[in-house]
């Protein structure tokens, strides 16, 4: 199908997916979940849509937009695997500032220090960012880091978050955790804009949420509002 390239573009609801052809495996989830348009991260656990409590897209003027989501869970957010996609483009990872060989077309490389929960999970401290890639402050005593990409866009994560799965950090205790992810960027042309967000929690298996929606683009009527007839997909 499709001459050897991906036959599907977008998300698959596995419980309702039908295919045709010879007997055999249609979609292989044995190495982790994923889609034809999103990277596969093999440390996933269960789909937990309740982790994403709210989101918004705001027109900042001068062609800039800001996408923000709120996270809550009994474990801190895994900041290493969090990413955003705009209009089906490459995934934009918050952790790109600590990658040894950044490549936005691939999942976060392993191993890094700290890594993605495979034995290298760690709380964010200044010594983990030797290149100074992140602007670091605190909000309410919790880490508030911002990474600036080459095109001027920024990805900020503030609140209860770690590099990797918090449950893998010795002495970590589950409790109520909140985090805010904010992506600020020059909005691309068009009347609408499609945004996908992916997050994992700090459980040993890395439970996850992936959601996408279409918003009215900046400089259009009711900019930032979900456009008429849009669909929220959570896989």
Question: Rounded distance, CA 85 to CA 91, Å?
Answer: 5
pLDDT of residue 177: 97
- State in Å, rounded, how far the first CA of the chain is from the last one: 24
Give the H or E element holding residue 73. Answer: strand 64-73
pLDDT of residue 110: 56
Tokens of residue 117, six digits: 């929960």
pTM value is 0.78
Question: Rounded distance, CA 143 to CA 123, Å?
Answer: 9
Query: Omega into 114 within 30° of 0, i.e. cis?
Result: yes
Go through 90-127 and write b for each residue having 16 or more CB atoms within 10 A of its CB, e for each that does not: ebbbbbbbbbeeeeeeebbeeebebbbbeebbbbbeee
Candidates 91, 103, 95, 105; CA nearest to 164 is: 95
pLDDT of residue 114: 44
Go through 4-34 and write b for each residue having 16 or more CB atoms within 10 A of its CB, e for each that does not: eeeeeeebbeeeeeeeeeeeeeeeeeeeebb
Question: Rounded distance, CA 180 to CA 227, Å?
Answer: 23
pLDDT of residue 48: 87
**pLDDT mean values, one per 10 residues, the chain (235 residues):** 54 62 63 53 74 94 96 95 91 85 60 52 76 86 93 96 90 95 96 93 87 91 76 47
């Amino acid at each position: 199908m499709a001459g050897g390239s991906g036959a599907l573009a977008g998300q698959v609801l596995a419980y309702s997916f039908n295919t045709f052809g010879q007997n055999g495996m249609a979609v292989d989830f044995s190495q982790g979940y994923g889609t034809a348009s999103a990277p596969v991260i093999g440390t996933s656990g269960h789909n937990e849509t309740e982790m994403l409590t709210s989101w918004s897209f705001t027109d900042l003027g001068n062609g800039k937009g800001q996408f923000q989501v709120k996270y809550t869970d009994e474990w801190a957010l895994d900041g290493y695997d969090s990413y955003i996609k705009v209009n089906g483009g490459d995934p934009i990872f918050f952790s790109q500032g600590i990658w040894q060989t950044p490549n936005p077309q691939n999942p976060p490389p392993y191993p890094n220090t700290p890594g993605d929960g495979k034995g290298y999970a760690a709380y964010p401290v200044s010594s983990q960012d030797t290149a100074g890639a992140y602007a670091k402050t605190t909000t309410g005593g919790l880490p508030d880091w911002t990474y600036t990409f080459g095109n001027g866009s920024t990805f900020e994560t503030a609140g209860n978050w770690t590099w990797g799965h918090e449950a893998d950090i010795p002495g970590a205790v589950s409790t109520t955790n909140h985090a805010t992810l904010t992506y600020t960027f020059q909005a691309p042309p068009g009347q609408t804009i499609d945004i996908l967000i992916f997050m994992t929690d700090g459980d040993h298996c890395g439970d996850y949420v992936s959601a996408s929606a279409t918003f009215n683009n900046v400089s259009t009527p009711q900019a930032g509002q979900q456009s008429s007839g849009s669909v929220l997909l959570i896989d």
